[in-house]
Structure 1
Amino acid sequence: MALLVYVGAALAEIAGCFAFWAWLKLGKSPLWLVPGVASLCLFAWLLTLVDAEHAGRAYAAYGGVYILAALLWLWVAEGFRPDRWDAIGAAICLAGAAVILWGPRAG
């Protein structure tokens, strides 16, 4: 369940941030901010659904998923294919996220 929530949160965050990018960097209409803000609110709400004892741990683990999602956005939405170093870095981050989220905890 956590992985699905993280994927949804990552898509919502990237879409929301891209709306601001499009407005400020690509000259799009300020109306792009309306769905952008809604998307960022969805992102924040989705992170509350993660079953973690502490918010900081949930956010830290989310970081690895976000990095992979950002690289996929780079490829799919922006048409620029990530290279092997991007893939290696994302794999390292995902491994770290898994350790943070599912590592054994003392009592």
Structure 2
Amino acid sequence: MLRTYEFCLSAPGKGFGNRLVDYIVTGCIPVVVRPGGLLLPLEPALDYDGFAVQLPFEDIPILPSILANLSRHAIWKKRQRLMEVHKMFLWDEGYGQAYEVVREQMLQILKK
């Protein structure tokens, strides 16, 4: 069903990270409501602006206008980027790249 939606709301709460991953791998553009300094999976290495809409809590009242003002081209670019990054969130052997991405990020952290 998620594949049929243009945007999927990902607000903090129980299951926040799981919902976000579900949206990414199904091609639904995540609309991420971000509290404070919350880091999303694979951040800061992965730039979410390319495939998601992000906003702070205080902008929730203007969310409909934010989404309505996105051009068809901007939405297309976000969908294209989702197609590029979705494998980074999948753990299945032979297709997903999550293991490799997390491993590389951990190695980078340990080098610091």
Q: TM-score, normalised by structure 2?
A: 0.37
Higher RCO, Cα 8 Å, sep 6+: 1
Q: Normalization by structure 1: what TM-score?
A: 0.39
Structure ID, larger Rg: 1
Q: Answer 1 or 2: which has greater strand percent.
A: 2
Q: Which has the higher helix share?
A: 1
